[in-house]
Amino acid sequence: MRILGIETSCDETAVAIVEDGRRVRSNVIASQTVHAHTGGIVPEVAAREHLRVLDGIAQQSLADAGLTLADIDAVAATVGPGLVGCLLVGANYGRGLAFASGRPFIGVNHLEGHVYANWLAETALGEALPPEPELPAVVLVVSGAHSDLVLMEAHRRFRLLGRTQDDAAGEAFDKVGRLLGLGFPGGPAIELAARAGNPKAYALPRAALADRYDFSFSGLKTATLRLVRELEAKGPLPVNDVAASFQLAVTEALAEKTARAAAEHSVRTVLLGGGVAANLALRAAIERRIGHPLLVPPPRLCTDNGAMIAAAAFYVLRHPGTAIPVTVTSGLKLA
């Protein structure tokens, strides 16, 4: 079964075609650059940009796969969580495409997409797919908008263990990136700067709440701001050391809770998803604690993309009775 997946929840316009929830046939992602100069995403600007490019991206996705619309069995689009104005563009385009071509339309939870990115493989046609991740699994979804720690008991069965109480992890990276003059988005820039810095240079508070699986990044953010102001008063800002210390505080908190959840629920697999999952320091910190390698999608499948939406849609179709309402919902939750 070939599913065309559409993702427009934030600032990537993305369309992909995936076979049987696993094999990526094409994966076109247009990252909006209009937000670079505002240092953040302006929802109205993002929605305009999605509408302007979406049809072209969909055509590109079909062309990349060497397929036509007649080869597509179903159309899926993200219906939440995300920016409503942006979600509406992808969802209505997708619904129209499905309706007019006589195919089913599947609304997909964006967070579930990040989870199912772990089932994707960019394997060439004719080559065998890698084995599927084994369940149950603990999944950490960390991005600019989310920090959710979830127990995945079976396909389409998620139990929330913890989530951020304030900012998302990626949001904290963005804010500190801006504070350090590293630009937007902050995640990759901080990771790069941190490589040349000493993570033990400054002691910053951990971004975790004791006892529970929840996270909190606001205290860490304030502490980093205070540290930067103090250091600036003394002389040139040791950007790399601050970046490394901040990154350590974030990744240690995420890794510690993820590893503890994995042990408590004796899961077979630990999965990562979301843009922050591309952070190598985070991966290393989790692997060190769980004692075996992590499953992490390749970077292009960690950040927002249409392939993960098509993959999640496949498992929605395979598990009858678990359909997601097609109404666009900004605050849709994973569990």
Partner 1 sequence: MLLALDTSTDWASVALYDGREVLAEATWHAQRRHADELFPTIERLLGTAHTTISEVDRVAVATGPGSFTGLRIAIAAAQGIARGAGAALVGVSTLDVLAYPHASSKRRTCPLLPAGRDLHYAAIYQERNRRWARRSPFLVGSLDELCRSIGDHTLFVGEIDGAAEVTLTTLLGAKAHFAPPSARLRRAGTLAELGWRELERTDQVKLGEIEPIYVRQPLGQGSFDQPFAPPPRDDAALGLPRRS
Positions touching Zn ion (CB under 5 A) are 143, 304
How do beta strands 269-273 and 157-163 pair?
Answer: unpaired
Measured CA to CA, the distance from residue 306 to residue 61 in angstroms comes to: 10
Please pick, from the candidates 66, 96, 181, 293, the single residue that binds partner 1 as defined by CB under 8 A: 96
Q: Which is nearer to partner 1, 84 or 160 (CB)?
A: 84
91/255 with CB nearer partner 1: 91
Partner whose footprint covers residue 327, from partner 1, Zn ion, none (CB < 5 to 8 Å by kind): partner 1
Distances (CA, A) of 44 to 87, 88, 324: 12, 12, 26
Out of 9, 27, 82, 93, name the contact with partner 1 by CB under 8 A: 93
Nearer residue to partner 1 within complex by CB, 92 or 218:
92
Residue 132 interaction partner, one of Zn ion, partner 1, none, beta carbon < 5-8 Å per kind = none
C-beta of 49 vs 304, nearer to Zn ion:
304
Least distance to Zn ion, CB of residue 114, Å: 6
Q: Is 71 a binder of partner 1 (CB under 8 A)?
A: no
Report the C-alpha gap between 236 and 147 in whole angstroms. 33
Neighbouring CB atoms inside 10 A of 292's CB total 7
End-to-end CA distance of the chain: 27
How would you class 301 by CB atoms within 10 Å of its CB: exposed for 0-12, middle for 13-18, buried for 19 or more?
Answer: buried
Determine which residue in the list 20, 31, 66, 99 makes contact with partner 1, applying CB under 8 A.
99
Report what 27 binds from partner 1, Zn ion, none; CB cut-off 5-8 Å by kind.
none
Count of residues near partner 1 by CB under 8 A: 34
Stretch that binds partner 1, among 94-102, 121-129, 144-152, 233-241 (CB under 8 A): 94-102
Interface residue with partner 1 among 69, 223, 295, 335 (CB under 8 A) is 69
Residue 270 pairs in a beta bridge with 138
Shortest approach of Zn ion to residue 145 CB, angstroms?
A: 6
Among the listed ranges 81-89, 112-120, 173-181, 294-302, the one in contact with partner 1 (CB under 8 A) is: 81-89
Q: Is 64 exposed, middle or buried (0-12, 13-18, 19+ CB in 10 A)?
A: middle
Comparison of 49 and 241: residue with beta carbon closer to partner 1: 49
Q: Which does 304 bind (CB under 5 to 8 A by kind): partner 1, Zn ion, none?
A: Zn ion
Q: Does 102 bind partner 1 (CB under 8 A)?
A: yes
- Contact (Cβ atoms closer than 8 angstroms) between residue 61 and residue 28: yes
Residue 276 as a binder of partner 1 (CB under 8 A): the answer is no
Least Cβ distance, residue 51 to partner 1 (angstroms): 5
With the C-alpha atoms ordered 291, 287, 218, 151, is the resulting torsion angle positive or negative? negative
Closest CA to 201 of 265, 244, 257, 159: 244
Binding to partner 1, residues 37-66 (CB under 8 A)? 38, 42, 44-45, 47-48, 51-56, 58
Q: Which of the listed partners (Zn ion, partner 1, none) does 322 bind, with a CB threshold of 5 to 8 Å by partner kind? A: none
CA dihedral 266, 271, 118, 9 (to 10 degrees): 130
In eight-state DSSP terms, residue 69 is G
Do 15 and 61 contact (CB within 8 A), yes or no?
yes
Q: Are strands 137-142 and 269-273 parallel, antiparallel or unpaired?
A: parallel
Residues that bind partner 1 (CB under 8 A): 38, 42, 44-45, 47-48, 51-56, 58, 69, 84-85, 88-102, 326-328
